[in-house]
Amino acid sequence: MKLKNITLGLAAAAAILIAGCNGSNDMTKDESGMQKAKMVTEASLGLRKTDLYTESTTTGNKTMYGKSPVMSGYKIKRAYQDAPPMIPHDVEGLLPITTNNNQCIGCHDVAVASSMGATPLPKSHYTDFRPKHNYSDKEGFSKSIDNMKNEISIKPMDTLSNSRFNCTQCHTPQSTGKLAVENTFEATYTKPDGDSKSSWYEVMDKELDTLKK
């Protein structure tokens, strides 16, 4: 009985699908009044709205990163609330970033950011969110936390956390060229100053009660 019901259900679904495919929206009439299937053009298949062979109308401008000098005061609005801020200045000579060569902290470290007129690194970058597990040759690996109890190991640090050294993993320069497809996205922020400030400050100061020294 169950198999029969399943078979009838599949048959009904197939009938609906066929009816939809043969509906009036997919048909048109020729000059003699006879119905025929509409032609699907290349321009209707994607966002480009042109044929696939006209590359001159489908390519964006050459990628050109901003050349604003460091300390120019130019800033880029965040794409959404709490989005990592973008790099508004030239990064020539600053990349790549390694554990032994991070020129970003020369201006953005909390100790010097104010005097350099730079945005200081947030408190989250000076916090160790990684639980310290235990390992020994005799006993092997053992967790230092009990996940079933939702324990969290969080410790403030005096220096930049090793997990945050790679700045360009989240912060990147922006191209000044135009896109091949128009970007109509409009950000909605949860805070009045959400385009320039993260709400992580409030989380770290007020809501994160697991913070321990």
d(CA 185, CA 179): 13
Bridge partners (DSSP) listed for residue 155 = 128
Calculated CA dihedral for residues 97, 103, 109, 112, nearest 10 degrees:
180
Strands 35-37 and 127-128: unpaired
pLDDT at residue 213, as a whole number: 45
Q: Is the pLDDT of residue 212 over 60?
A: no
Q: Is the pLDDT of residue 1 over 60?
A: no
In order of 1, 2, 185, the CA distances from 10 in angstroms are 14, 12, 40
pLDDT above 90 as % of the chain: 16
Average pLDDT over residues 183-190: 86
pLDDT at residue 56, as a whole number: 64
Selected residue with higher pLDDT from 203 and 6 = 203
How many C-beta neighbours within 10 Å does residue 17 have? 10
Tokens of 8: 């009838």
φ/ψ (deg, to 5) at 134: -110, 145
Selected residue with higher pLDDT from 131 and 195 = 195
Angle at 119 between CA 115 and CA 121, to 5 degrees: 105
d(CA 97, CA 11): 60
pLDDT at residue 113, as a whole number: 92
Average pLDDT over residues 70-74: 84
Q: Is the pLDDT of residue 108 over 90?
A: yes
Average pLDDT over residues 39-54: 66
Q: Kindly report the average pLDDT of the chain as a whole number.
A: 76
pLDDT at residue 68, as a whole number: 87
C-alpha 137, offset from chain centre: 41
Which range in 2-16, 57-71, 72-86, 175-189 is most confidently predicted, on average pLDDT?
A: 72-86
Tokens of 134: 């235990």
